[in-house]
Structure 1
Amino acid sequence: MASQSAWTTVPHDPPPRGGWASRPRYAPSDFVTLLWRERWLMLIVFLVIALAGAGFAFTMKKAYPAQASLLIQLGQEYVYEPRAGDAARGAVPDTSSLVQSEVEILQSAQLRERVIRKIGLAAIYPDLAKDYAPATPAEKALIMAKGVESMGKKLEVGSAPDNPVVRVGFEHDDPAMAAKVVNTLVEEYLIYRRNVLIQPGSMAMERQRVLFEDQLQQADAAYQTFLTTNDIGDFNAQKASLTQLIGQIEAQRSAAEVSLQDRQARLATLDAQLRQIAPEIGLYRDIDPAAATRLAALRLQREEMLSRYRPDSQPVRDVEAQLRQLEGAVGSGRTQTDGARRLGVNPVHQTLQTDRIQTAAEVAALQQSLATYGRQAAAATQQLQRLASIEPEFQALSMDRDVLQSSVRDFTVKERQDQAARQIAAETNDNIRIVDRAVPSTKGKSLRKPVLALALLMGLFSALCAGLIRMFLRPGLPTPASAARTLDLPVLGAARLKAA
Structure 2
Amino acid sequence: MNETLALPPRLVLRDLMLTAFSQKARIALIFFCIVALSIVIAVQIKPDYKAKSSLLVLMGTEHAFRPAAGQLTTPTGGPDSEEILRTESNILTSDDLHRTVIRDIGIAKMYPKLLEKPGPIGQWIVDTKRFVTDSLGLTEKATGTGPNDPMAMAVGLFARNLTITVDKKSSVIALEFTNPDKYVAADALRLLEAQYLVLRAKLYNDVQAPIVLVQRNAVGRQMSDADAALNSFKQQHDISNFAERRAILLQQQGALETALTKSEATIAERSARLAQLNQTLGAVAGGKKGAPNAAAALQGMVQAYQKRQEDAQTRYRGSPAVDDARRQMLERETDIARMQATQAYGVQADRNKTEADLRASLGAHDVIAGQLTTLNKEINSLDADESQLHELERNRAILEDNYKAVSKILDERQTVEAVEAHRESSVRVIQPPRVPALPQPTRRLILLAGIVISMLLSIASVLVSHFLRAIYLRPEALEMDTGLTVLTSVPEMRAIGGPSSSVLVVPA
TM-score by length of 2: 0.48
TM-score by length of 1: 0.49
